[in-house]
Amino acid sequence: MKSKKFFSSLLIAALFLSSSTLAHANETEVWRFYSKNMTYKVDSGISSLMQKGWTNAVTQWNEKGMNLYSNSSSINTLGVFNEVSSTLYGRMQTWYNTDTFIVTKFQGGLNIGNSNITGSNVATSTATHEIGHAMGLKHNNNNSIMNSARNRSNLWFPTSYDVQTMTQIYAGTIGWNAIAASVYQPQVPTDVNISYDFPTTNKLEEMVQESDIIVIGEYQDGFETWNMLRDPNNSQKESEEAFVEGQLYDFKIDNVIKGNVDGGNIKVNHRAAESLTLKFSEDVEEQVTVSDLFYIAPKTKSKYVLFLKQNKELDNYYGAIEPFSVTIDDNNFVKLNSNIIGSEGTSQEFQLNNVTVHNDILDSIEDNISGMSLEELLNKVTAVGGVKGYSK
Ligand SMILES: [Zn+2]
């Protein structure tokens, strides 16, 4: 594996993080398409499975009342990216104008570096979710394609809940094809929103089931950074287009609760930030760096229980799902680590080329773990099938 030092840009220091507290969990974003009619273009050169994910998603939304149609000159592109060692499924960039709240452009990606993406219906579920973002639907905790905790094999279509939201957004809009060109003015983007599809859970049981290994131990000092974004055609090669900062920590294992581990130390990867290319116009493109809002710097000299998945190809481990990390205090009580416990979401905003860039996580989870003793936690973990007994 090739690694390189990441020189965090000045930009990242200039960013600010804020927790937005919304009065109510609103199910809609501020933006929407001008009407139910909207063009898109699926990137040629992506696998037929990923193409199918996007086209199935379009069919799903169209069956529920949208009119999304393929057009080879559309600026709304649907494609793939290749980010390894991650539970990230997909991403959507939605550009819009804040005077009219009309979407000016969207760019969606399915993560082919997440091996789960090839599972039954998973690409379709992710694509339907990502198009939902562009249409103006927000993450929520209901029976919804916009729920980050959904089962992606079983829930890959807009539910009746989503149809209600969609209807609310698009009620009264008519097709722009029917409107005189003098009435419809092309919109200038003032904002761009970056949305993701990362799985989350409230359930310890699911954290256990998603993990290849569960270990107790300590992070060691220092870390090495590397580019988690790979060449789309070769996962052994890092991408030359953009940079997703992974931080690899040595983790010294005291006990293995689930799975098999060779040796006493493993490499645990933390996704910290990503740089993306934003295309402001035909001629203006810029690289920006946004934080991973789930990121929490690990502490040394503290005991952790970690719920991890293995990346066999690159020989490292990463969080199996959000949340995946529990701290053990000196009295052997545990505390769940996550930035989205009971929150209304966390966001980051900055200005560039007269455009406001928004990086959002609008999910929240319940903490059903903190305050337990370690023994109680491990009893619950081992009660889930497929986990061997904890040896003290
Ligand atoms: Zn999402």
pLDDT digits (tens, 9 = 90+) for 194-224: 998 899 999 999 999 999 999 999 999 999 9
Q: What is the mean pLDDT of the chain?
A: 87
Question: How far is Cα 392 from Cα 384, in angstroms, rounded to an integer?
Answer: 18
Residue 252 near residue 218 (C-beta atoms within 8 A): yes
Q: What is the pTM of this model?
A: 0.86
Distance 391 CA to ligand 1 centre (A): 39
Cα–Cα distances in angstroms (integers) from residue 310 to residues 189, 299, 365, in the given order = 41, 21, 24
pLDDT score recorded for residue 388: 62
| 226 CA distance to ligand 1 middle (Å) | 25
Distance 315 CA to ligand 1 centre (A): 28
What is the distance in A from the centroid of ligand 1 to the CA of 218?
32
| CA 378–ligand 1 middle distance (angstroms) | 32
Tell whether the model's pLDDT for residue 144 goes beyond 70: yes
108-130 per-residue burial string, b: 16 or more CB within 10 A, e: under 16? bbbbbbbebbeeebbbbbbbbbb
**d(CA 198, ligand 1 centre) in Å:** 7
pLDDT score, position 386: 66
Domains of the chain, each with CATH number or no CATH: 31-197 (3.40.390.10), 204-345+364-383 (2.40.50)
Ligand 1 centroid–CA 90 distance in Å is 8
Q: Which helix (H) or strand (E) holds 49?
A: helix 48-63
For residue 357, report the distance from its CA to the centre of ligand 1, in Å.
16
How far, in Å, from the CA of 48 to the mean position of ligand 1?
A: 23
- pLDDT for 179 equals 46
Which pLDDT does position 22 carry in this prediction?
32
pLDDT bracket for residue 178 (50, 70, 90): very low
Q: Give the pLDDT mean for 346-355.
A: 88
Asked if residue 69 lies in contact with residue 39, where contact means CB atoms within 8 angstroms, the answer is yes
**Centre of ligand 1 from the C-alpha of residue 136, in Å:** 11
pLDDT of 10: 33
pLDDT tens for residues 280-335? 888 889 989 999 999 999 999 899 999 999 998 888 999 999 999 999 999 999 99
Which residue stretches of 154-203 are H helix?
A: 160-170
Task: Give the distance (Å) from ligand 1 centre to CA of residue 156.
Answer: 13
